[in-house]
Structure 1
């Protein structure tokens, strides 16, 4: 990275780092959407509901993976900005080993929790069968997914985001091809969807390892001395991302519990289909956050504190514009979108009546997300954690357990915009607090 280049071309540099990251994240999310297309059209609404019931498991893996990788890449980025290449390499290797061991252990634990989870949700027998067929295989794929994402953050931190984007394109194309073969032609159902994810993720991992063995110029795979301090700081720096994704895991379980209780399987199916839009947009936000984070960490490590804040402001403007664009697309494309996944009049009516209301949250979620990333990138974990816990747990759970009870499915759609608007006030408070500090406030920290 070149400090003068960042100063003179802030918007261009953010886009150079963010666009490949956004494409990579959106391509990753498209795998889930394509899976939903094949399940909805070749398995049925019960299959879609079954996959959605297990989303808390996926968010749990993302929570652990992001906590370790975001925290580690922030420390490595600051060290790189301070020209301490030995430390940044050591942090890289420790981060990847930690991610690998943590996710493998998590798969073992989750294996024993599948039946208790299904018991609490009180799902019907057919949904339970689809759930087990899918997630038993996915417990092998999810650690690979997290490892790939962790490696990808360091590839971007090295200034080579295009390579990770190319690898993700391969991942998506291979996944779509295997979905088509396993489900459309071989009739493997949800088992085929899960197997396709596992195989494509494994091929992706091989391509990524090739990069670090043959092409990497900064981060190298080698022996390292384990540091408790680095681990502590990694987990602390990534705590807000952990809270954010863990909150999504808890809130998704709460969503499913409430919708099954008050509306039924059709409600879960409708929420699943609308959730694909939210998932894709959240990947756009994470892409912006992951693209801007190395720049913020680097400039902060170089003691260019005002530049770090400027990068945050520009990125917030970009995600606000992106949210407005997606909202318009959702409003005008609701009918076509619902019919793409399911041929069920009741489910389609639920989607049509609520997707535009749900999408209002996109106007506010970007600022909340990017500001949380910003505070993580400069090592201010407390502010980031508070924002993440508010929008992903405290406010969200209050809305989940109140609005659907009184308003039914309309209450489900109102949960997201209500949560993001309330959280925005908290986010603006932290931004204002940061902005109104004395001119040398950063330097004295």
Structure 2
């Protein structure tokens, strides 16, 4: 059952990440390294959208999943409708706010005129696409929670195919540059949303669009349960800004371009981890809501073993394919060697990041938001920022690549401590029972 939920989710998340990689391929080959750098400078904004969207959707899904596990279908449906309305309103407000941050962000980073121009061309359109992207991802969590992950996987296949087709059309043939890539993302996201709305209108058996009474208690619990996801993504936003600031200051545009290209591999693997987490979360929440605490813990252990195996496999693939991959996006005698060395060092983090990611998902799913938030903030903010501001100034670009492995290793000790503590609490409860 875990694989039935996780594999479609993984495929969906990987397909979502392949859209970013395809965008990078067309930008790198038809616009240039400055275009890749410009897109990377805006990643903090994307992570901010995800922070808001995941906080609401993951938090709401946890409440709805536990309500479904306890048999309260009415509450389950009400939480679904309130969650999606909150996601819509919040992401539209974020877009309205982000428009005013373009110039201050570029000024702080001291981006040159060409990179700044590409940045505004691309993200001026993406401010329309990003709310739709977050809404689609939020709907997808409820589709999986209903036990229909295959449908969302099929929708994501359509999304990635449309995006690549539009990229090829607008960039290769129409020569729209970074604007063409942004328009391609917007159109494919709209078509994906249409397919998702069709599911909830015609096919859904649990979650349906209904009138609901706004509940401040549900709002409070939603934000609390999803706080670790907010902290995690918001921390990524801050850390990505710090990455760009430090790399531009110490290495320059070539360093940002190399970091962007290596980041695609990290992004794909992170999507695999999130796919495992999103696949396991509804099952863990259901089991915990049904008072099957040992089953919930067993689901975590199995999922952790799976992500450890996935990390080892990806690490071996990186060792074999680093030379080929380094020349896929740009042809540069400066950037390519940076990418080759960076991939091997950076990918060591894949051996540890899975445990940390699944641990955070697990604690969110059982309503232990504090532990989840500490793990997420440690690996995505506090430990990460310390490494960002110490290692690159000392070791240059090698220090940039060392940041991720060091962060994940140090965070692993925190994750293992909380897991051991939770196991001890469960053993104590069984003895008392």
The TM-score, its normalising length taken from structure 1, stands at 0.96
Structure 1 gaps of 5+ residues are 1-12
Aligned length: 433
Structure 2 counterpart SS, 1:439: helix
Quick check: 44-53 or 433-442, which moved more? 433-442
Structure 2 counterpart SS, 1:437: helix
How far did residue 438 of structure 1 move?
5.3
Give per-residue Cα distances to partners, 1:129-151, cap 9 Å, x unaligned.
Answer: 00000000000000000000000
Does residue 145 (structure 1) correspond to residue 162 (structure 2)? The answer is: no
- Could you say which residue in structure 2 is the equivalent of 1:370? 358
**Residue 439 of structure 1: which of 411, 414, 427 is its match?**
427
Distance 1:441 1:217 in 2: 36
**Residue 98 of structure 1: which of 86, 100, 107 is its match?**
86
Distance 1:75 1:276 in 2: 33
**Residue 32 of structure 1: which of 16, 20, 24 is its match?**
20
Distance 1:204 1:232 in 2: 30
Does residue 353 (structure 1) correspond to residue 341 (structure 2)? The answer is: yes
Give per-residue Cα distances to partners, 1:358-409, cap 9 Å, x unaligned.
Answer: 0000000000000000000000000000000000000000000000000000
Distance 2:70 2:297 in 1: 19
Equivalent residues in 2 for 1:118-137, closer than 5 Å: 118-137=106-125
Go from structure 1 to structure 2 and tell me whether the alpha carbon gap of 1:444 and 1:200 turns closer, same or farther (over 3 Å shift).
farther
Distance 1:246 1:278 in 2: 18
Distance 2:431 2:370 in 1: 19
Structure 2 counterpart SS, 1:83: coil
How far did residue 443 of structure 1 move?
10
Give per-residue Cα distances to partners, 1:301-342, cap 9 Å, x unaligned.
Answer: 000000000000000000000000000111110110011101
Structure 2 counterpart SS, 1:123: coil
Give per-residue Cα distances to partners, 1:243-286, cap 9 Å, x unaligned.
Answer: 11111100000000000000000000000000000000000000
Greater than 6 Å deviation, 4+ residue runs: 442-445
Equivalent residues in 2 for 1:64-75, closer than 5 Å: 64-75=52-63
- Could you say which residue in structure 1 is the equivalent of 2:272? 284
Distance 1:290 1:439 in 2: 26
Distance 2:289 2:341 in 1: 48
- Could you say which residue in structure 1 is the equivalent of 2:3? 15
How far did residue 439 of structure 1 move?
2.6
How far did residue 352 of structure 1 move?
1.1
Determine if contact 2:284/2:362 at 8 Å carries over to the other structure: yes
Give per-residue Cα distances to partners, 1:104-152, cap 9 Å, x unaligned.
Answer: 0000000011110111000000000000000000000000000000000
Does residue 419 (structure 1) correspond to residue 407 (structure 2)? The answer is: yes
- Could you say which residue in structure 2 is the equivalent of 1:319? 307
Structure 2 gaps of 5+ residues are none
Does residue 200 (structure 1) correspond to residue 188 (structure 2)? The answer is: yes
How far did residue 345 of structure 1 move?
1.0
Distance 1:386 1:255 in 2: 21
Equivalent residues in 2 for 1:142-181, closer than 5 Å: 142-181=130-169
How far did residue 440 of structure 1 move?
4.6
- Could you say which residue in structure 2 is the equivalent of 1:211? 199
Distance 1:91 1:353 in 2: 48
Give per-residue Cα distances to partners, 1:191-221, cap 9 Å, x unaligned.
Answer: 0000000000000000000000000000000
- Could you say which residue in structure 1 is the equivalent of 2:386? 398
Distance 2:100 2:28 in 1: 28
Quick check: 429-438 or 342-351, which moved more? 429-438
